[in-house]
Structure 1
């Protein structure tokens, strides 16, 4: 990754720390714009950069959120493409060799992820220099969430990921990428444990995001993905399942999934009420999560329309769901060195029987409990089914399909090719996967 070529200038939006110049010498820089040193040395400047991380991750069709949800949705058959004129989406929908380094959605995810990691590293590094250690801990925690999400996104899509920023940077395996995300989270949790962020920090960042619960939830997620089941279980147990953690939107800055998909019938809508699952795994007809995530459209273009977390322009999108944490517990118990299949079934049934009224987001299957005992294979199949339904359009299904050993025929790609921009500028870029 040639991050020296793509100089990330988040300071452009930070007028809050602008200062007047006093020098009389000729200076062709904008005198109203703060220097990078000024931005990264003040609490206000660092806060502005943090807000920029969330905007880059979640706003617009170019955002990580849009690219993750839509790419995974098309590749895993959660979504159907309505108009092949949407070329990057069409490539992902066709899959195989149709997806190459020209795909702008993959290139966008690669670029935004690296931008977020770069800026987050600057925040984390410079926050340590602030005198207010509580405020610094808040900045580190907030920035670390989006850094970890970005490293995790790259590790879910590519076989190898950059090991840092710089010219001709090297690559590490995606398993090492997940470890880097977890290390980022652990550093943030340690900073917050040492110094509690003050109330004025929480009021200075966008509402909706619960920092500590989100850090623990992401640690549980990436530990599970990396086969560290005891660690995943421990982290999931520390998440308060009564709390919400969301990226919020408004009419002027709408939810990008709503803006591109739900508001019209020109790009993507749900494939159907099977959520793309094959016969034998499709949701129960009585599963109330299906009408939560999709409703009848009344349009001939597509029978179903996206609902759930992209129903409206101002619909908040969760960073994780409480149900994800419960399913992580079930899977970790089923897969760890000394499996606890009975305990795993208990956790699974918490999701299966959950009513909408018992979930902070209103996601509830409201089905009868699954009777046991189940074999490990039977249990894992039910966990997979419920992850696909509970976490529909979360961007996690491709990783789940590989982990649960689902056949390649159920998806259009397994791992993604590297953007040509990276390959053209970095000789260390790995070979593209065959599928």
Structure 2
């Protein structure tokens, strides 16, 4: 798609297509890099199997893809012909804000804290339109396969999978956002959040992810700014659901713990696990924050047999 878009004569249509396709390419590569130690560096062929690159190089590749998309958008505004051929939820704000948010996310994962902060600052916290939209024909896949059946996977309880020391405050209003309770029929705790109906949209990012990205970068950067990190943490903790464009808010008091790098990283991890519940980033976060291996079933995924059987470049499986 991207190769074809670059060759189009209609540069305004091409800009929209490049931006839209780049978002999904970024998510695809980014997801691979979150779960595997190494990922294919580029598509292979039957005669030339794919070689592999480190996951960190994969994150950097994602940022390069997104920056190219950003350049294309800056050079030519997408036209009506493009928008007529994509979901109605996709507009210029969707493209611009989603690209910047994903640059922030994957720059953080790559350890480029300055770029992550810069990109996160470009994302308006009042915008909630970066979503995957569904309808009666193309339904919300988590609701259809999981929530509606109650026999695939489930949220276990109000801890949202966190250990006791980091468990959510029971007054945290995000617990009620992401879970519901059936007092009579097991399982007691049920999936809610963005997975409650067939047509509910699933966000690509949440606005407060940007705050938590900045908080983490402020702590991890070469010259930490712990005061700035606390400011971002407090903005997440104290926000009411009514103040968030997607209705996600903790409604808690400000942070009152120790102001040190280790303590703040623990709090940022806690807030990420609650705020971004069921976003698919928990394993990535768990490793990055050096949580005990006992908190996860695996550290990295093994490579698929289908890949190994057809590609001699496939790395050895991870130890765990």
Q: Report whether the alignment pairs 1:128 with 2:6.
A: yes
Mapped to 2, the partners of 1:351 and 1:414 lie a distance apart of 28
Two-structure CA RMSD over aligned residues (Å): 1.1
Query: Is 1:194 matched with 2:75?
Result: yes
Unaligned runs of 5+ in 2: none
- The 1-side partners of 2:229 and 2:66 are apart by 26
Asked if the contact 1:342–1:373 (Cα under 8 Å) also holds between the matched residues in 2, the reply is no
2:103 to 214, 219, 223: 219
Distance 1:368 1:200 in 2: 48
What SS class does the counterpart of residue 233 from structure 1 fall into?
Answer: helix
Give the Cα separation in 2 of the matches to 1:222 and 1:297. Answer: 37
Unaligned 5+ segments in structure 1 are: 1-122
What corresponds to 1:86 in structure 2?
Answer: none
**Deviation digits for residues 117-157 of structure 1 (CA, Å, limit 9, x no counterpart):** xxxxxx11111221221110100000000000000000001
**Cα gap change, 1:176/1:299 in structure 2, threshold over 3 Å: closer, same or farther?**
farther
Mapping 1:12-411, distance limit 5 Å: 123-167=1-45, 168-209=49-90, 210-244=94-128, 245-371=130-256, 374-411=259-296
Query: Equivalents in 2 of 1:200, 1:351: separation in Å?
Result: 39
Shift of 1:372: 6.3
Distance in structure 1 (CA, Å) of the matches to 2:38 and 2:272: 25
The runs of at least 4 consecutive aligned structure 1 residues that moved more than 3 Å come to none
Please state whether the residue corresponding to 2:190 is helix, strand or coil: strand
Between 393-402 and 130-139, report the one with greater CA deviation.
130-139
Q: 1 CA distance for matches of 2:140 and 2:159?
A: 25
Residues 163-206 of structure 1, C-alpha deviations (whole Å, 9 max, x = no match)? 11123111000011111111100110001111111233223211
The count of corresponding residues between Structure 1 and Structure 2 is 313
Shifted more, 320-329 versus 259-268: the winner is: 259-268
TM (norm. structure 2) is 0.96
Look up the match of 1:101: none
| Paired residues of 1:241 and 1:322 also in contact (CA < 8 A) | yes
Q: Displacement, 1:373? A: 6.0
Instruction: Point out the structure with max Rg over C-alpha.
Output: 1
Deviations 1:221-276, CA, capped at 9 Å, x for gaps = 01101111111000100112211200011122211110111112221111110001
Between 1:150-159 and 1:296-305, the stretch displaced more is 296-305
- Structure 2 Cα separation of the partners of residues 345 and 208 of structure 1: 34
Structure 1 distance, partners of 2:50, 2:294, is: 34
Say whether the 8 Å CA contact 2:44–2:51 is kept in structure 1. Answer: no
Contact (CA 8 Å) 1:327, 1:348: kept in 2 or not?
yes
Distance 2:268 2:69 in 1: 30
Larger RCO (CA under 8 A, 6+ residues apart): 1
